[in-house]
């Protein structure tokens, strides 16, 4: 919907003053609540443009992973695992970025930290934990929300060289699943991105609440 309205505005821009266009676009791109939810949930999004000069501190990183540590999980198994590196460690940072597909590497290499999200898919008895990825996703959301407390942003990435991640870190595929990669850092102006990505650097909307919640019956 937002892309359509932006296109419409661009086509009819001669009818508006520049200042009016800015105001109209800001209203269009503003996310709207359908219930009384905390602003932090509306303000969270996944930008691609990161400040390559910003270095994240160990204190903030530990706090972000500490938030994940306190995530609830089935039988308190806590299946989540996170491998990360910081931009200050140039050698390892390059290795991590090379494990991303080119479409993600081009922007993610400007982040302050890169990492991979992994879940242990079996319990201590060797039986399959059917809820491991569900629980790990919850841990990721905890990380993301803690990052926002520091005015930092996260971006999860499915576009990774998954087989190479398994090999590089010697991850046992019978016990663990590599889910995705992630970037973490301070947001930068979208002009830092390649031109084709600048057009995508905007907050997106969500489905209507009525499309995801159903009382007493499914749909």
**Can you tell me the distance from the alpha carbon of 190 to that of 199, in angstroms, rounded to the nearest whole number?**
9
Q: Is residue 120 situated within a structural domain? A: yes
Q: Is residue 32 situated within a structural domain? A: no
Instruction: Supply the CATH number for residue 117's domain.
Output: 3.40.109.10
Residue 29's pLDDT is: 52
Residue 42's pLDDT is: 92
Q: Which residues have a Cβ under 8 Å from the Cβ of 152 and sit 6 or more positions away?
A: 56, 60, 64, 112, 184, 185, 186
- pTM for the full model? 0.84
Question: Which residue range(s) make up the domain with 65?
Answer: 49-194
**Can you tell me the distance from the alpha carbon of 104 to that of 148, in angstroms, rounded to the nearest whole number?**
21
pLDDT tens column, 120-145: 999 999 999 999 999 999 999 999 99
pLDDT tens column, 163-211: 999 999 999 999 999 999 999 999 999 999 888 899 888 888 899 999 9
Q: How many domains does the chain have?
A: 1
Q: Is residue 19 situated within a structural domain? A: no
**Can you tell me the distance from the alpha carbon of 169 to that of 152, in angstroms, rounded to the nearest whole number?**
27
**Can you tell me the distance from the alpha carbon of 125 to that of 135, in angstroms, rounded to the nearest whole number?**
18
Q: Is residue 157 situated within a structural domain? A: yes
Q: Is residue 92 situated within a structural domain? A: yes
Residue 15's pLDDT is: 52
Q: Is residue 159 situated within a structural domain? A: yes
Q: Is residue 154 situated within a structural domain? A: yes
Q: Is residue 42 situated within a structural domain? A: no
């Amino acid at each position: 919907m937002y892309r359509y309205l932006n296109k419409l505005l661009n086509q009819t821009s001669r009818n508006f003053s520049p200042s009016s266009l800015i105001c109209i676009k800001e209203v269009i791109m503003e996310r709207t609540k359908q219930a009384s939810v905390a602003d932090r949930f509306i303000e969270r999004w996944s930008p691609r443009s990161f400040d390559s000069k910003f270095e994240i501190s160990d204190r903030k990183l530990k706090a972000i992973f500490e938030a994940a540590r306190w995530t609830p999980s089935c039988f308190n198994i806590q299946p989540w695992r996170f491998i990360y590196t910081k931009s200050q460690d140039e050698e390892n940072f390059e290795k991590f970025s090379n494990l991303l597909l080119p479409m993600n590497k081009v922007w993610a290499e400007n982040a302050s930290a890169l990492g991979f999200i992994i879940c242990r898919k079996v319990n201590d008895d060797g039986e399959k934990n059917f809820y491991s990825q569900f629980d790990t996703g919850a841990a990721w959301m905890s990380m993301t929300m803690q990052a926002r407390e520091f005015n930092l942003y996260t971006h999860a990435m499915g576009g990774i060289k998954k087989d190479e991640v398994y090999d590089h870190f010697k991850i046992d595929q019978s016990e663990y699943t590599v889910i995705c990669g992630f970037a973490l850092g301070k947001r930068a102006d979208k002009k830092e991105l390649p031109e084709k990505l600048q057009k995508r650097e905007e907050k997106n909307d969500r489905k209507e609440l009525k499309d995801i919640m159903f009382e007493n019956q499914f749909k």
